Every structure is written in structure tokens, then in C-alpha cells.
Structure 1
Amino acid sequence: MNKWVRAHTNIALIKYWGKENEDLIIPKNNSLSLTLDAFYTDTSVTFDDALTEDELILDGDKQDARTLSKVQRVLDEVRTLAGLESKARIESINHVPTAAGLASSASGLAALAGAASQAAGLDLSDQELSKLARIGSGSASRSIFGGFAEWIKGHDHDSSYAVPVDDAQWDIGMLFIIVNDAKKDVSSRDGMKRTVETSPFYDGWLNSLDADLSAMKQAVSYRDIEQVGQIAERNALKMHATTLGASPPFTYWTAESMKAMDAVRELRKLGYTAYFTMDAGPNVKIICRQSDLSALKQELSKTFEDKQLIAAKPGPGLHLLN
């Protein structure tokens, strides 16, 4: 009986936006994220000689070939490493809305890397698991680790992986404002590609990243949540600005996203430490003090429904479930 493996989502505070190598998912820049406890994926893998093709069962539903193709890259690498030829059955339960900018692929592909390598009898290091997860989804490389993690861009398969930065066992948390959990119109992959190829703003974004990353790492080391929030908010706004310059232009923001961002600015006027970040989707995440989470939820419940507000604390790295 193969064990179930759990990986949590991570939210990038210094964003990854653009690939240097599409096939290997080598990014154009380093990124830094915080793994969170609220959203996660549980996955089990069985290699079975009786199967004639790989199967992916997600939340009880068998998935089509397009969805399967993303996971097969990871499976094929595991088969190569383990000297296996058997097809695999993957069972996965996603405690994250899929493709809504809530990092479902990060937790999903990290959990797959852990479960598949475990089922194949491989004893991989965290660094090797990070590389394995990366070939399925870039951000998944960071979900191998709890707390803060940095994905080092590298230049080939062996040099591109995430490393732990800080365990985040201090007064930092995140509050999600879910304005829309539907599948987005422009996928992260397509949006990234279009921006890199056509946006005149992209080079400006890329050239500013080293300074942002350096400042963020210093802020994390000092546990300076004001600085962490300010840098993350600025970095996210710059990333989203690049999409408006793409051809054709697009944005992940909705009217509700704008309302949520304004609500965060109002929280600051009330004296709270609250800064927003957004990924490739409409939902807004608030970087705040963990000790303020319930007070912020109460303030925001005047504007948003309770079910739209999800509090999160720093989460653990990849682990086996009992």
C-alpha cells in the first residue's frame, strides 16, 4: 500500500514571471515564497504492470490527456531514475481551487514528486525533489520546503532548484480574499510567454528583481514585516504591469480585485500592517501579522463574505501522511 504525501501551496513574495527555458522550466529570475498551511494537495501514486496507460484521478474524477501531460513529465523522470517501465495510477485530492491563481499546481506537482519517488522506492534529497517538482510546475520547486524558500534560477536541470531561507516561525501570516475561484481565461504559462515575448515593460521588471530579492531576504532575516510587505506589494504590482504592455494586453485583475486592494490600503490607514500580493489570478493575498488575522478578518467582513476570507499561517514542507 503506497503512502499519501502532502504538499502545501506557496505564495511568491518575489515573483517568478518568465522562463529562460520552456522545456526544463528554467526561470529568468530567482524568486522567493512563503509556504502556507491553508491550501494543500494530498497525493498517492501506484506503479502497476497491469495498467496500459498512466491515469490521473483528481478529486475523484479521471482527468483528460491534457491535464495528464503535465504530470507525465514528472512520472517519466521518476521512471528513468528508478529504472521502471510500469504505468502509474495517481490519486490526488486538491484542497485548493484549481487554476484560480491560488498555486494549486505548486502543491499538486510537489506532492506528485514526493509520492511518485516514494512509490518507486527512490530516496531523494530535498534538492532532488525540488528539481523533480520543477519540471512539472516551476513554483512547485518551492513547495518542497516549509516557511520561506528561494528558487535559484540556475541554467540547467541540475542547477535550478529551491532552497530553504527561513522557517517563518514568527509573527507573519496571510489572509486570502477569494474574489473568484473559477478557472482563469489566460493560464499562467500562456500569460508568462506572451509577456516575455511582447511586453516592452518586461525588461524593466527583470532588471529590478535582484534589488527586490536582496532587500526581501534582508527583511526576512530581520523579521521586519513592514519591509516584507512593502517589497512584496511593489514587486507584485510591477509584475502585473508587464501584462498590460503585452500584445494583446491582458490582466488578471477584476473589479473585485481592485476593491480588495483598496480594502487593504484602508486597513493600513487604520494602523494595521497589511500589504497585498497577487499571482496570475484575480485573488488578493494580504501579508500581515499572524496575531492580527482575526481582527483583519472582522474588518474585511464588512465588505466581503466570510467564505471569501481565508486565514493562513506559515506551513510545513513536503511530508508523508500517516
Structure 2
Amino acid sequence: MALVRPARPPFDPELAPVVEAVGAVDLTAATLPQIRGFAATPPDTVAAVLAGRGAERRDVGTTAPDGGPVALTVLRPARRAPGVLAPAVLWLHGGGMVMGDRFSQIDVPLDWLERFGAVVVTVDYRLAPEHPAPAGVEDGYRALCWLAEHAGELGVDPARLVVAGVSAGGGVAAGVTLLARDRGGPRVAAQVLSCPMLDHRDDTTSSHQYAGGPATWTREQNAFGWAALLGEGHEGGRDGVLPYASPAVAEDLSGLPPTFVDVGSAEVFRDEDVRYASRIWAAGGDAELHVWPGGFHGFDVAVPAARLSVAARSARTAWLARALGVA
């Protein structure tokens, strides 16, 4: 008997041809090295993007608590107003916890570098399965501490530190923010979670809707990413899974900074992201939630010129301007 796929929300008409052209990608331990190669950002692309945005680059490094190296890149506007402290964005890239690099999706925070004069610090957090949890989120937290420690030399306002990320990076960003709260670490002024990967249980309605394609990130790929990060046998519960690795299992979401969450209606993470924002409100917190109708996973990165993408980026930037007190 043929399986009946659950009904799905339609893709936005402008986006539909893009996602429907995506072939089925079998993400496994055997295919991961090749997929990582495709996902890596070419150096000439990085140079061209930074030049086009008027960004100066400085590569630095720090050390994680377990002694592992953490590579960072500091991006600053080439033209800066003297004596004016800038906001700073700690950027965590996407890639399902298993791929990508610190320049993946870098155009997103570069929008804020241009708009607000923000300093962007982007992190090569260590990837699974070679580095299982909590390595990646600890790397992100160490990067946040480095940013706070070097705020003076970077010309950064320590009261305006933003933690932001997309997809897996959104999940890491949420974990970093929870760590900062629980450890009494650097004060995070705002967190921006774009289509974040938050829940290792992978068992919502939207997760089941996007089992199989067409989709840019499927339930099966998601299961592989979580298994790589947490190990086999993690499914179905919270026992032994730290909330910093899977923020959806955090019992307490109070005391978090103002939070922006956005996600597409036509993607695997829709329901876990909506629930995360709802739980922040339930804990008395400040959150803004956008569910973009017809958006597939990562639509505004994949097709930035689409009308829905322009609207999504505009809403995100407008919220951040308000959170940072920028005119």
C-alpha cells in the first residue's frame, strides 16, 4: 500500500520553481564529505562579497574550554564614525550541524553591517559528527565571551551585543544565549533566530509534512544532523540531552533577551519555531514571530530578490533597529 503524504501548505508562487528544482539529497555519513565540499564558501567568493559591502576583514582565534581551536573572523565597516561605539553581531552559520563555514549565509549579517555600522564576528564552530555536542555551542559561547572581552579595541558597545544565526546556526545561537543567561556571562541585548533548528525530537506536524521532497531540508536530513550531533538513540525524549544543544527541551525560557524568530510556513522547522516563541511569551518574555506564507527552509538566503525574501529581511532588520535603538 502506497504511503499518503500529509497535506502541505503551498509554496509561494515565486519560490516554488526554485524548491521544486532541488533534487533529493541523500545525507549520510558516506555522502557528507562530498556535500561539505559543495557547501564550502570559495575564498574568492568571500573576498568579492566583502569588497562589495565595504567590509574590512580580520581573522583571529580563541580556544574552547576543552582546548579546541575556534576560528573567528571580525568584519568591520571600512568607514566608521570616530568615537561612536557600534553594535556587534555574533553570527552562527547554518548547515544542519554538520556542514557550512563561518562565511555561509554571511550576506545576512552584512546587511546589518551596512545598515547599522555593526561589527560582525562570525564563528567556525566545530561540526558534528567529529565534534558532537556540546562542542559547537561551547565554541559559540567562547566567541561571545571573546567579543565582550575585546569590545573596547573593536569599538563595540558592550550593551549592544546581538547573537544571531540561521537554521542550525539559529539553534546554536539560541543555545549560546541560554548559556550566557545560565552562566552569568556577557549580556546579550537581542537574539535573532532565523528558521532555527531547535528540537532534536523531530516529531512535529511540520516535520512529518516535509518528510521527503521537494524541500531544501527534509525530516530525514534533519534526523541525520541531530544523530550526528547527539549520537544514535537520542530520539523521542529529553533524557540526557542538554538544552544548550537542543533548546526546545529547556524547561525555563524566562530571562532571555528580546528575541526575533522567523520561519517559512512550508518547511520542517515551522512548528518547533512557533512553539519556541510561544514559550518565551508564556515565560513573560519579549519575542516577535513571523511565519512567512509559502516560504521554504532558508528561502530568503536562497532567493534574496524574491518579494517574500525582501519582506522577511526588511522585517528582521526593522526589528533589530528597534532592539538596538537605531534610528
Instruction: Give the alignment's TM-score, normalised by structure 1.
Output: 0.27
Name the structure, 1 or 2, with higher relative contact order (CA <8 Å, separation 6+): 1
